Structure 1
Amino acid sequence: MKDVYLFSGFLGSGKTSMLVDVIRQIKEVGLKPAVLMNEFGKLPFDSQSVEEDVPLKEMLEGCICCSGAEKTEAQIQSLLMDSDFDVLIIETTGVAHPVEALDAVYSPLFAKQLNIKGIVTVADSKLWLNREQLAPQVRSLFLEQIRHAHLLIANKMDLLTESEQSKVVFELQGANPHAFILQTTKGRVPIKLLENLQATVRPAKDDVHSAHIGKHLHLSSRLVEFTSSFTIEQFEKWISTLPSTVYRVKGYVPIEGVRNPFLFQYAYGLVQWLPEYVKMAPQIVIIGDDVQNVEIIGDK
């Protein structure tokens, strides 16, 4: 199973500096990294910093989010088929919403091959102090990236006074009380901090052990496998009971009287069913806050 980290952070926060340093550390412990990089413009400026021996896939002028999910899925499948790697790092564009970016990574096609370790958000500490100067929409996205992080990197601390540093940490803790906050410069992050994250909740039979940092993560995913079929009405009734903290459900649902499981999508209260002409594994992925506590259809 491949470990996956999703690097988030606003434009110019220091994500690429962190990426380069993390790649170095991964290699030093004898593991092979791969990178999926989302560039906001037409030219792959950031990807030029990735060494040639690291498998790299790029998405130009796209977004690793709902609208670009199919492209993301294809790129990940290509990496899994063509490249030898242990750890996949996905660097999102600075304007990507973290929940939508995480959603795009969870495909039922390779749910058992990837172990999503978590969202690592790099926050420009100086920009945080001056966030009120940002346009409302931009400021909202900046806050969302911080609020959904599993690990928060308070970067560029060397540009602040001691009192400003304390203010940043205090306010970031208020914005996201669940995340571990690392104060750093030039995007430096010890690899041990990354290894302790765990955002994927898998069936008990997989025998996943909780990590010290990861066991209390709020935003997480859960893989559910089905051994029985349902009617569409039964399944949608269960969907209607889900708490508002469940943001996404997607996968393949076995329907009574139908040969192949249906492709199912749920987001923002809306459901979509599509017939599938190939027999896919009957399983879904649930994404949200504290999804391990969600009651699953068919559970007694």
Structure 2
Amino acid sequence: MTKTNLITGFLGSGKTTSILHLLAHKPADEKWAVLVNEFGEVGIDGALLANSGALLKEIPGGCMCCVNGLPMQVGLNTLLRQGKPDRLLIEPTGLGHPKQILDILTAPVYEPWIDLRATLCVLDARQLLDDKVLTNQNFRDQLAAADMVIANKADRETPESRQALENWWAQNGEGRELHHATQGAISPSLLDATRKNLAPLPESAEHSHSHASTKGLAALSLPEHQRWRRSTNHGQGYHACGWIFDADTRFDTIGLLEWARLAPVTRVKGVMRIPEGLVRINRQGLDLHIETQNVAPPDSRIELINDADVDWNLLQAALLKLRLD
């Protein structure tokens, strides 16, 4: 049986960073796998996790739990049967609802295969101060489903967010654990905590996505001889636009970082080729984190998400001007 953990969290809470930390500190004699789902179709998290040493399966387009869970079951079966991992980490989109996923994982068909352990919800406590996030049904249900809440980005907390977390915990903390972390630095030992007897989750909040029902189950790729391409998606009150560029395209480093910093959106995430190698870009609100390495990725991918529609053509024109090749 594969020890399995669901790791949830709203947009920008730090799920992927937490998973990267867990993978970097996993037992050396274990094989781990990650099933990752994103709201957009570009596959940023897949690019971030590509060199982590884990088996990886992506489900793009926010559709892990749509169509009776078929996309999730295809990815899940592939990892369990072909990879036979010791542990599986499942990262749904930040706009995902946990109930359908937990229903699938606890279905009789998976009883011989899956040893379901604690569900972790990664939380940026400042989100508790944002009425739009706080009233989002998926955000509320992610916290309700958690056996363990990881209050991430402790280094960015404010007196107001600290008090909001204390107030929330006083009302909702019974029966679960709370841990604090900075940059997703959580111990793999937390994954072996047992599931709690939490109250049943409500039925899923209504969610829909703009992609067709015949959409593929792989992240966006480039047709032969096409230098770049873009993809948009929307649903649950959020809009996303992502771009992928071929391996021969590099971007001006300073200009790219300024573009990411100033883009009028709430979320920016990307892995981009620059003259120095690669830059990883992760921005939530005004928090911008960058990391450079002298190893270039096979292509460039970047995605923007916002809670209102944006002039993607204007942002695209500015991005294209930053190409060096």
Identity of aligned residues (%): 27
Relative to structure 1, the CA distance from residue 20 to residue 148 in structure 2 (aligned partners, 3 Å threshold; closer, same or farther) is same
- 1:246–1:59 CA distance, 2 compared to 1 (3 A): closer
One-letter code of the match for 1:119? T
For the pair 1:59 / 2:56, whether they are aligned, the reply is no
CA separation in 2, counterparts of 1:43 and 1:246? 30
| Secondary structure in 2 matching 1:169 | helix
- For 1:135 and 1:101, locate their aligned partners in 2 and report how far apart those are by CA, in whole Å: 21
Aligned partner of residue 70 in structure 1, secondary structure: helix
TM-score normalised over the length of structure 2: 0.57
Whole-angstrom distance in 2 between the partners of 1:164 and 1:39: 27
Task: Answer whether contact 2:62 2:96 (CA < 8 A) is retained.
Answer: no
RMSD between aligned residues:
2.5
Q: Give the secondary-structure state (helix, strand or coil) at the position aligned to 1:112.
A: coil
2:186 match: 189
The answer to whether the 8 Å contact 1:154/1:169 transfers is: no
**2: distance between equivalents of 1:8 and 1:246?**
14
> Counterpart in 1 of 2:44?
45
Residue pair 2:133, 2:139 contacting (<8 A) in 1 also? no
Query: Does the C-alpha gap of structure 1 residues 100 and 176 become closer, same or farther in structure 2, counting only changes over 3 Å?
Result: farther
Query: Residues 162, 59 of structure 1: CA spacing in aligned structure 2 closer, same or farther, 3 A cutoff?
Result: same
Give the distance between the partners of 1:25 and 1:39, measured in 2 at CA.
24
Code of the residue aligned with 2:44 in structure 1: it is F
In structure 2, stretches of 5+ residues that fail to align are: 205-325
Deviations 1:128-176 (A, max 9, x none): 1x132x16752x3222211220110111121124574254134234224
Question: For residue 228 of structure 2, what is the aligned residue in structure 1?
Answer: none
**Contact residue 65 and residue 103 of structure 1 kept, 8 A:** no
Pair 1:157 & 2:148 matched: no
1:251-289 alpha-carbon deviations (Å, 9 max, x no partner): xxxxxxxxxxxxxxxx9xxxxxxxxxxxxxxxxxxxxxx
The answer for the alignment partner of 1:76 in structure 2 is 76
The one of 140, 144, 155 aligned to 1:143: 140
User: Contact 1:2/1:86 (CA < 8 Å) preserved in 2?
Assistant: yes
CA contact (8 A) 1:66 1:104 kept: no
Which residue of structure 1 lines up, in the alignment, with residue 33 of structure 2? 34
> Counterpart of 2:111 in 1: which secondary structure?
coil
Distance 1:6 1:246, change over 3 A: closer
Listed as ranges, the gaps of 5+ residues in structure 1 are: 200-215, 220-244, 249-266, 268-300
The C-alpha deviation readout for 1:46-91, integer Å capped at 9, x for no partner, is 1112144321111111433253512211211111221141000000
Check if 1:121 corresponds to 2:117.
no
Q: CA deviation at 1:188?
A: 1.5
Rounded to whole Å, the distance in 1 between the matches of 2:170 and 2:148 is: 11
State the distance in 2 between where 1:141 and 1:3 align: 25
* Residue 198 (structure 1) aligned with residue 181 (structure 2): no
Within 5 Å, which residues of 2 pair with 1:118-267? 118-128=118-128, 130-132=129-131, 134=132, 138=136, 140-161=137-158, 164-195=161-192, 197-199=193-195, 216-218=196-198, 245=200
* Closer, same or farther: CA 164–125 of 1 in aligned 2, 3 Å: closer
Task: Name the counterpart of 2:103.
Answer: 103
| Residue identity matched to 2:176 | A
Q: CA deviation at 1:97?
A: 1.1
Q: Structure 1's 55 and 116: CA in aligned 2 closer, same or farther, altered over 3 A?
A: same
Question: Partner residue of 2:2?
Answer: 2
2:78 partner SS = helix
TM-score when normalising by structure 1: 0.61
SS of residue in 2 equivalent to 1:36: strand
**Alignment deviations for residues 19-49 of structure 1 (CA, whole Å, 9 cap, x no partner):** 1011112244x21110100011111101112
Q: Is the 8 A contact 2:2 2:84 kept in 1?
A: no
Q: Structure 1 163/88 Cα, relative in aligned 2: closer, same or farther at 3 Å?
A: same
